[in-house]
Structure 1
Amino acid sequence: MTTATRDVSANLEVNVTAATELEFQITVAKLPGLTLTEELSMTVDGEPIQPEEIVGEHGSRIHRIQVESGLVVVDYSASVTTPAEPIAVEVTDHSIYLRPSRYAEADKFFGFAAGQFDINLPPGELLQQVAAYVEDRLSYIPGASDPIDGAADTLLANAGVCRDYAHLVVALLRALNIPARLVAVYAPGCDPMDFHAVAEALIDGQWVAVDATGLAPRQSLVRIATGRDAADTAFLDNHRGTINLNSYKVTAVVAGDLPTDTGEARIGIG
């Protein structure tokens, strides 16, 4: 992972037309070893509002607010100067991250994966094969998928965006008995710039980042949220009311030159 400073930011404008509860996952995950400075502000019709912070697994942070109506503006910026230490492997990881989930329906892929890949290969080699397969199979086309599409839909469509690539990687790896999960990240170098999603696979006792899109070097990624799939890591959740996401903007840059990532090394997310 890179040790260069990474500066990230997000701005969102959400119009609330019926009373609701909003949850945002846009802040950098708080993990051991991480050094950063950050600012988060939220307003409703120009008036400051203090969100409730909920800290989940792997340092993921949800910021929750209750809104009757009005324009919600969220501004976040952070400067990461020291990367986090590698996330420790928990005994439950081998269970939770092998299970089928909402968008990574691994149970639909058991037969397909066994026919497509040599299940007798070491996990590290299978990981490389899965990443290469997804990269070759899919075309990155914004708008080609719906938010409700899962990995099976992506395989049939042969196209999608970063979350679709990650879901397909995760589903195939789980079908091959390799624990895998999805991570929402800030990604310096990503083009088009946006919130980014990658997979993580548990290989030889460490979590390894997998990005079949190849849109950004893995060394520069900054973890936001970690979960079974996008249902756990969405940057905005709405409960009860009616909203419209008017706009959002994401930036992520690294000091100096972007690192080079051939996709072959085992790289963790810092």
Structure 2
Amino acid sequence: MCTSLVFEVSDPTAFVLAVAVAEGVPTTVETLRVALDGEPVEPRPLTEGHGTRLSLFETTPGILQLDYTATVVGRAEPAPVDAVDAVVYLRPSRYVQSDTLTPFARDTFGGLEGWPLARAVGEWVHDRLEYRPDATSPTGGAVETLEVGAGVCRDYAHLTAALLRALDHPARIVSVYAPQLDPMDLHAVVEVLVEGRWVVVDATRLAPRTGLVRIATGRDATDTAFETNTLADVELLTMSIDARADTVFADDPDEPVELG
């Protein structure tokens, strides 16, 4: 798994990056290099809940480059289920406005529960939306995505999670490396709590769920964004993702899959 990012930083700012594979993902080689105008910057590591690994650092104006590489061997253990999660991931959040969509969700999916519901929601979102960059605003959430009828992976994930939460099924957003995704990019999917397991719903169906590698887990893109900064003048100049795998993965969207 490889991520390369180049930013032009115009103001002093504090960065938080989330590009490392989650804690518990088995790796043999892992490196993170950050440099400002060619001079090394030493990030401070921090691990959040669900194994999300953050890199924190401050920088002055200049050209900032980040290169992360990891060789993943095998899969992590399935995500544990915490009783608190069942509460947290039922609540509406900034981009997952499940309270607003509750009447619509009940009218559309009434009578379904568990994996049949999760599968139906994923299929409905897949059929309803058009995958189109720049269709929604950076601050738009599930409601805007439903109105526009288009978006990218995070929009698909926010709408899927909102409909599931609206129907009393805990759902959360996960950023992942996705082998076989074309074009290659960081990807976003949903985990829904079904019968004591977190199972994956990817309404885009752009990459097999069986090969996904967890990066960050949270309520919505607020918690899983690959980069945040202190509202400074920062421009992303280039971004390159490589998530090649030695195995060709297969996926049956009708079957539940757990994310390692």
When normalised by structure 2's length, the TM-score is 0.98
Does residue 1:254 correspond to 2:254, yes or no? no
2:98 matched residue in structure 1: 106
Note the 1:105-254 alignment, pairs <5 A.
105-118=97-110, 120-254=111-245
Matches of 2:29 and 2:136, distance apart in 1? 36
Matched residues, number: 260
Matches of 2:113 and 2:144, distance apart in 1? 28
CA deviations over 1:162-194 (Å, ceiling 9, x no partner): 000000000000001000000000001111211
Q: CA RMSD in A?
A: 1.0
Q: Is 2:213–2:259's contact at 8 Å kept on the other side of the alignment?
A: yes
**What's the CA shift for 1:121?**
2.6
Aligned amino acid, residue 84 of structure 2: T
Matches of 2:4 and 2:109, distance apart in 1? 42
CA deviations over 1:14-45 (Å, ceiling 9, x no partner): 111111001110000012x6344211100011
Q: Is 2:27–2:70's contact at 8 Å kept on the other side of the alignment?
A: no
Matches of 1:240 and 1:192, distance apart in 2? 29
1:268 matched residue in structure 2: 258
Seq. identity, %:
44
CA deviations over 1:87-117 (Å, ceiling 9, x no partner): 1100101100000000000000110011001
Structure 1, gaps ≥5 residues long: 1-7
**What's the CA shift for 1:240?**
4.3
Q: Is 1:166–1:182's contact at 8 Å kept on the other side of the alignment?
A: yes
Structure 2, gaps ≥5 residues long: none
Q: Is 1:25–1:225's contact at 8 Å kept on the other side of the alignment?
A: yes
Matches of 1:28 and 1:37, distance apart in 2? 12
2:11 matched residue in structure 1: 18
Matches of 2:141 and 2:158, distance apart in 1? 7
Q: Is 2:21–2:213's contact at 8 Å kept on the other side of the alignment?
A: yes
